[in-house]
Amino acid sequence: MIKHYLKIAFRNMWKFKSQTLISVLGLAVGFTCFALATLWIVYEMSYDNFHKNAKQMYVVYKPSSFSLSGMSRSTNYPLAALLKETFPEIADAIPLTPSHPGAKVTVESAEVPAHIINADSSFLRMFDVKILRGSRDF
């Protein structure tokens, strides 16, 4: 019975070649888009998962008229202190403020554009930062 169904299916595909080609191409494009979207979602969901407490880290966004997206991730010191006082669940809050927008860093005699962000010492407690020289004691 299955042999009969396959024979009829192949005869119909041979008879309607253009419809078969369009259907197969559409199915291939659909599967490709699905695979690429899945890869993108997996990448976005795994962002910064290498930190030991990644599941407990959050970013505070605030409205900003200077940003293209209308939202900004930069926070000031009073907001971080207020969050820690208001919510006892918060162990550490890191205020991040951008500084020196056009800064350049010299690496092996080559100047590299850098985005410098000011943060306080709780940054080192919150993130797994490997220090190559010096110590964590300020």
Average pLDDT over residues 60-73: 74
Residue 100's SS3 state is coil
Reading phi first (left if > 0) and then psi (alpha if -120 to 50, else beta), residue 119 is in: beta
| Amino acid identity, position 129 | V
- Name the amino acid, one letter, at 77: Y
**What confidence tier does 21 reach under pLDDT thresholds 50, 70, 90?**
very high
The lowest-confidence range among 4-13, 26-35, 102-111 is 102-111
What phi, psi does 98 have (nearest 5°)? -70, 145
Tokens standing for 15? 């008879």
CA nearest 95: which of 111, 83, 112, 107? Answer: 83
Q: Could you state, in order of their start, the residue ranges of all structural domains in the chain? A: 2-45, 54-126
Residue 64 near residue 42 (C-beta atoms within 8 A): no
Assessment of whether the complete model's pTM goes beyond 0.85: no
Position with higher pLDDT, 23 vs 138: 23
With the C-alpha atoms ordered 38, 44, 50, 53, is the resulting torsion angle positive or negative? negative
More confident residue, 115 or 101: 115
Residue 138 — very low, low, confident or very high, per pLDDT cuts 50/70/90?
Answer: low
How far apart are the C-alpha atoms of 73 and 129, rounded to whole Å? 21
77-82 mean pLDDT:
84
Candidate from 7-11, 52-56, 78-82, 106-110 with smallest mean pLDDT: 52-56
